Amino acid sequence: MNHIEAKLSPNMKSTSKLSRAFLLKLELRSHPTLLCVIRGALEPLMESLGFSEEQNRAIIRAVDEAVSNIMRHAYHGRLDQPIEVYCNRVQRRTNGEIDEGVEILLFDSGPAVDITKIEARPLDEIRPGGLGLHIIRGSMDTIQYKRAGRLNRLRLVKFTKLSRGNCGAAGDKSS
């Protein structure tokens, strides 16, 4: 059992039953040099799922920003804390058509996030910092935060229309 699994709450253990449907699971430490490892893993995966280059860049950008936020804000720059990244196929029905997409779940064991205090700064201010949330919002279709036991869970979803059979793994039908 790894470090973060040892900390799993009952809620998280229930979530982990879905792991068979996940396309990819990464476990890493909160070291910034590992961000490129996540980007390097996601790029070919998203490409294989049929996302365009632009969509692929958007997904990678959002995940990179979200993981950076975990490193900075949840772990305050500590370099050895656990982060888990799960990727799963998802589907949604819109006007009778099925949109397929990817769901990315990020888990960290930092303190609970007070979402009422999270605010993206106004974009008309020309100053450094505070852009990460704008970048995530501007890149993904869905962003959801949830406290899952002693873990923070961030769910990012991006949809695209995919040709059937692009990827062999069976996906979870829920979004």
From start to end of the chain, where are the E strands? 22-29, 82-94, 97-108, 142-148, 151-160
Among 93, 118, 138, 170, binds other proteins (CB under 8 A): 138
What's the half-sphere exposure (Cβ side, CA atoms, 13 Å) at 90?
19
> Which residues 6+ apart lie within 8 Å of 45 measured at CB?
23, 24, 87
The piece of 51-59, 82-90, 94-102, 106-114 that touches other proteins (CB under 8 A) is: 51-59
Place of tokens 């990460």: 132
Among 21, 26, 131, 169, binds other proteins (CB under 8 A): 131
The piece of 13-21, 88-96, 103-111, 126-134 that touches other proteins (CB under 8 A) is: 126-134
Nearer to other proteins, 7 or 39 (CB): 39
Nearer to other proteins, 29 or 57 (CB): 57
Does 20 help bind other proteins (rule: CB under 8 A)?
no
Among 17, 20, 33, 97, binds other proteins (CB under 8 A): 33
21 close to 79: Cβ distance less than 8 angstroms? no
Does 29 help bind other proteins (rule: CB under 8 A)?
no
